[in-house]
Amino acid sequence: MACKFISHEDTNQWLEALAKDHVVFIPVDDGGSVTFRPYGEGRKPVLDRMPVRSPKEAVFPQNETLLTYKYDKDPEDPERTSVRIKETLPKERAVVFGARPCGTRGMTVFDSVFVNDRIRDPYYATRRENTLYVTLACHEVESTCFCHEVGSGPADTAGSDVLLTPVQGGYTAEAVTERGEKMLEASFFADGGDKCAEAEAVKKATREMLGEAHDFSNAPEALLAVFDDDEFWDDQAAACLSCGACTYLCPTCYCFNITDESTGTTGKRLRSWDTCMSFQYTLEGSGHNPRTTKGKRLKNRVNHKFAYFPDTYDQHLACCGCGRCIKSCPASIDIRSIVKAAQARSAQKESK
Amino acid sequence: MQALAELKEQIRQALPDLDVVIGWQQGYDALHTSPLFIRSEEDIDKLVVNEFCVVNPATYLREMRGGKKVGLVLKGCDSRSVIQLLQEKLLKEEDLTIFGFGCNGVLNHTKLQARFGDIGFITSLENDGTNVTVEAGDKKETVPFTELCADKCLTCSYPNTLQCSHFAGEESAKQADSATDKALEDFEKLTMEERFTFWQDQMRRCIRCYACRNACPMCVCKDHCLANSREPKWLSEDVDVQNNFMFQLIHVMHLTGRCVECGECERACPMDIPIMLLRRKMAGIVRDVFAYNAGTNAEETPPLMCFKVEEPTIEERH
C-alpha cells in the first residue's frame, strides 16, 4: 500500500472538493453528542471523539423508503380503487469521512447479509456501491474499546476505501480499494515520506494501549452450550431496560422492520431499524412470540453476534468491538462480560 | 464507609424474607456502576454506594409485580418514585422493603464528557464531596462537585431516603444549592420562536430508542405503550421531528403530576437530549396549580387522581 500525506488544511479543502459531487458525512458536535451529518453549513469535523451514532446509517439509514403508493378511486364506481406504486431507489453518491475502523468494519457484516450469492438487496447494494469510506485510525483508546478482541484493531482497514492515520500536521493516507486509490490521486495528497514511519508507530502504540486480548474464539460453542440455560440469561438480562440504544447505535445490527405508513390515500412503504430488545421483535401475527422474556431477547443480541453469524457466514464475529452498546447502555450492561460469563459457564458445565 | 457496612448487614438480615434486593454494583470501569440483583448471601458483598449509583432501582419494580417481596436500596430521589407508585396504588406497601441512606449527590456522565473529552478517556476520578479531581490522558484537573453533579442534585431537597424500612449511616445534611433549576430558567428567557426552534432541532436528534421511557420508573405501561401500538397506530415508524416530538410530548403529558424528577429519562438518553426541561416545566406547573410535589407524601392523593368541585389552590371566577 502506497502511503501518502495530507495536511490538516488540505483535508478541509479535500472535503470541500468531495462535497461538490457527494454527500460527505462527517462527525460533528450535534448538541453535545458526536453524530454524522453532511458537510457544509459551516460544520466542522470533530475527530477526537468516537461518534455516538455509527457509520452504518450512510448505507442503512434508520428509515429507508422502499416505495411510495397512491390509491385512486374510480369516479364511475367508487367501490373500485386502483393503486399506483413508485419505486424509490436511492441515488446520491456519498463519502463517510472520519469513522473509526471498528465502525467501518461493521459494513463487512452488512455486506455478507445484503449482497451475496442468493440475495442482492437493491437499496443496500446501491447505497453501498455509491458510498466511499474514508476511515480514521485511532490514536487513543477508551475503557469500552475491544476491537482487538474480535479480530480487528485500531488501524483495521476492513470495509474502508481509504485509511487515514493521524500524524504531526495532518494524516497519512493509504488506499485500501481501487476506489480509494482513485481518491488519493487528488492534488491534495503528497508523498508520505517519513510520515509513513510515524504513522506505523502511531498504529503500533495504539494497539499496545489496548493490552492483551481476551480469547473469544470458542464463543460460538460456549454460547450454544448455555442456550437453554434460562437462569443464566435471565441473570445476565436482569438490569436490561429493553430499550433500543444498543442495537440502534451498533455498527453491525441490521435487523429491520417493514411498515406501510399511510396518510389518507397516499403513503410509503418504509424499512426501519428494528431492535431485538423490544417485545415486538419476532412478535407473530397470532400474538405469539417465541422470545417471551428479556433474557431470551438479550440472548438473541449476544448470540447473533458471537454465535449465529459466525456459524452462518465464514466464522467472523458480527461484533466490531466499538463498545457503543456498553457506553450508551443506561444500565451499563457489558456484552464482553456476558460472553465471558457464557464461556466460564459452559466450561463449568463440561467439567461436571 | 460506615453506611455501606450497615446497609449490607441490614440486607443480610432481611434477605431470607425477600425474593430479591436491588442495589448497585461496580460496573465495567471506575466511572460506572450497574444494577445489582441480590438473591443470595454472596451477592451482598458486591453492593456499592457511591457518586456513580445513578440508576433508579425503582424502575425495575414494574417487572416485579405479582406478590414478589422486593427490597430496594434507594437514594432520596429514587424513593419518591416508590411513594408516588404507592399513592397510585400500583404497588403494595407490604411487598416492599426500602433500605435508605444519606446521599451526597451523584455525578453526571454527560457533564464529565463535555469537560474531559470522551468519558472512556478518563483514567481516574476522586471525589471528596466538595471537589472532584479527574485525570484524562495527560490532563489533571480539580473541579467543584457542583459543576459535575446531576442537575437534580443542585435543587435536591430530599437527600435522605423517604419512607424507608431501614436507614444506614448518618443522614445527609446536603442543602439545595438553589430552589430553581438554572437550565430551565435560562431556557425560559428565550422567545417562543426560539424555544420552538430549539425543540425542533433536539427532536431531530431523537432516535426513538425509547431509553427515556424504559428508564422512567413512572412509565408502568410496559408493553402497552401507545408509542408501540399498531392498532390503532398513533405514531409512524418514521423517525422524524414530527413523530419524535409527538412521542416526547405524550411522554411528558402522561407524567403530569406523577413525575418525581429523578432525571432517569435524560440520563438514559444516548443522544443527551435535555428532556428534563419539559419534565421540570410540567412539575413546576403542577406545583403552582395544585400545590403538589409528586412522591413526597404517601397519604396524599395525586391531584389528577381525584375530582374536587372546588380546588383549594385554584381561584375560580364564578
* A contacts of B210 (beta carbons < 8 Å): 243-244, 278
Q: What is the DSSP letter of B172?
A: P
- Mean pLDDT of the B110-138 span: 91
Mean pLDDT of A274-281: 96
A202-208 long-range contacts, CB within 8 A, separation 24+: A202/A137, A202/A139, A202/A165, A202/A166, A202/A167, A203/A137, A203/A154, A203/A155, A203/A165, A205/A139, A206/A137, A206/A138, A206/A139, A206/A140, A206/A141, A206/A154, A206/A155, A207/A148, A207/A153, A207/A154, A207/A155
Contact B201 A270 (CB under 8 A): no
pLDDT-derived band at B1, boundaries 50, 70, 90? low
How confident is the model over A7-24, as pLDDT tens digits? 999 999 999 999 999 999
B9 and B74 together in one domain: yes
Cβ-based neighbours of B92, under 8 Å, separated by 6 or more? none
Instruction: Compute the mean pLDDT over every residue in chain A, rounded to the nearest whole number.
Output: 96
Instruction: Work out how many domains chain B is built from and give that number.
Output: 3
| Set of chain A residues whose Cβ sits within 8 Å of the Cβ of B119 | 142, 327
Do residues B204 and B316 both lie within one domain? yes
Angstrom CA distances, A239 to A63, A342, B22, B58, stand at 29, 17, 10, 12
Tell me, yes or no, whether B37 and B167 share the same domain: yes
Same domain, residue pair B274 and B215: yes
Q: C-alpha cell of B56?
A: 433508579
CATH number, domain with residue B133: 3.10.450
Nearest chain B alpha carbon to A53 = B271
Query: What average pLDDT does the segment A155-173 reach?
Result: 98
Q: Let me know whether B87 and B3 are in one domain.
A: yes
Question: B52 and B119, same structural domain?
Answer: no
Q: Are A322 and A145 in contact (CB under 8 A)?
A: yes
Kindly list the residues of chain B whose beta carbon comes within 8 Å of any beta carbon in chain A.
27-29, 31-35, 37, 55, 59-60, 110, 114, 117-121, 137, 201-202, 205, 207-211, 213-215, 223, 228, 236-240, 264, 267-268, 270-273
Q: How far apart are CA B220 and CA B213, in angstroms?
A: 9
- A33 in Cβ contact with B272 (< 8 Å): yes
Nearest CA distance, B36 vs chain A (angstrom): 8
Which one is predicted more confidently, A71 or A352? A71
Choose among A350, A347, A351, A324: nearest CA to A336. Answer: A324
pLDDT in tens, B196-220: 999 999 999 999 999 999 999 999 9
Domain closes at, from B118, B139, B174: B174
Please tell me whether residues B119 and B98 are part of one structural domain: no
Q: Which residues of A fall within a CB distance of 8 Å from B121?
A: 140, 142
Q: What is the DSSP letter of A307?
A: I
Instruction: Give the separation between CA A16 and CA A21, rounded to whole angstroms.
Output: 10
pLDDT at A1 over 70: no
Q: Are B218 and B84 in contact (CB under 8 A)?
A: yes
Contact status of A243 with chain B (Cβ, < 8 Å)? yes
Handedness of CA A111, A114, A120, A126 (dihedral sign): negative
Domain that holds residue A236: 3-351
Range of the domain at B313: 180-318
Do both B165 and B129 map to the same domain? no
Minimum Cα–Cα distance from A244: chain B residue: B209
Please report which confidence band the pLDDT of residue A140 belongs to, taking 50, 70 and 90 as the band edges.
very high
Q: How confident is the model over B255-292, as pLDDT tens digits?
A: 999 999 999 999 999 999 999 999 999 999 999 999 99
Nearest CA in chain B to A333: B34
Does residue B74 sit in the same domain as residue B212? no
**pLDDT one-digit tens code per residue, A210-267:** 999 999 999 999 999 999 999 999 999 999 999 999 999 999 999 999 999 999 899 9
Grid coordinates belonging to A181: 486509490
In A, which residues are within 8 Å of B267 by CB distance? 330
Number of domains in chain A: 1
How confident is residue A64, by pLDDT bands cut at 50, 70 and 90?
very high
Q: Identify the band that residue B61 occupies on the pLDDT scale cut at 50, 70 and 90.
A: very high
Give A35→chain B minimum CA distance, Å.
9
Asked if B309 and B189 sit in the same domain, the reply is: yes
The region of weakest confidence among A236-240, B112-116, B227-231, B235-239 is B227-231
pTM of the model: 0.96
> Is the separation of the CB atoms in B37 and B58 below 8 Å?
no
- Looking at the complex, does the CB of residue A162 fall below 8 Å from at least one CB of chain B? no
For residues B100 and B125, membership in a common domain is answered with: no
Quick one: pLDDT at residue B272?
A: 96
State yes or no: cis peptide before B232, omega within 30 of 0: yes
**Cell triple for B40:** 443470595
- Specify the pLDDT at position B222: 80
Chain B CB within 8 Å of residue A51 CB: no
* pLDDT tens-digit map of A89-110: 999 999 999 999 999 999 999 9
